[in-house]
Homo-oligomer: A and B are copies of this chain.
């Protein structure tokens, strides 16, 4: 499986990255992407900005390990993970995951799996600044539950 992992401190263009990813494929006919972008509002009201921290080196190694696991579980030709860090504004892209396979379900499941990891297990810390001040965000109970779906699941494909 070809792979690419990027942690970026500047804004990135998800569609430009998807285009490069798709055009690099040699055989896979099924491409699934997930893009997460800063929401204009959260449960706590209007979000004015978002900040993301990571632990350089260790965060990347964790993502690389989960890509190893995805490659074992599904027949993927390629996978891409881009994650933004630093200060972000509403509508800025935060994360992009792309997977490609000959099989539609493999591409869907692998993208879903990678996002569950990035959301609740990867080494990122996120704070939101709104009218009430700055708060550190934690995954919701359903994010943890989503990630646990894969713990006992047999490989897809």
Binding site for B on A (CB under 8 A): 14-16, 18-19, 22, 25-41, 91, 102, 104-105, 107-108, 111-112, 115, 119, 142, 146
* Interface class of chain A by DSSP: mixed
Please judge, given known A-B contacts A36-B104, A39-B102, A146-B105, whether A15 and B22 are in contact too, CB under 8 Å: yes
Quote the shortest CB–CB distance from A147 to chain B (angstroms).
Answer: 11
Contact A29 B33 (CB under 8 A): no
Please judge, given known A-B contacts A104-B119, A111-B108, A112-B108, whether A40 and B27 are in contact too, CB under 8 Å: yes
Contact A31 B32 (CB under 8 A): no
Residue of B nearest to A149 (CB): B105
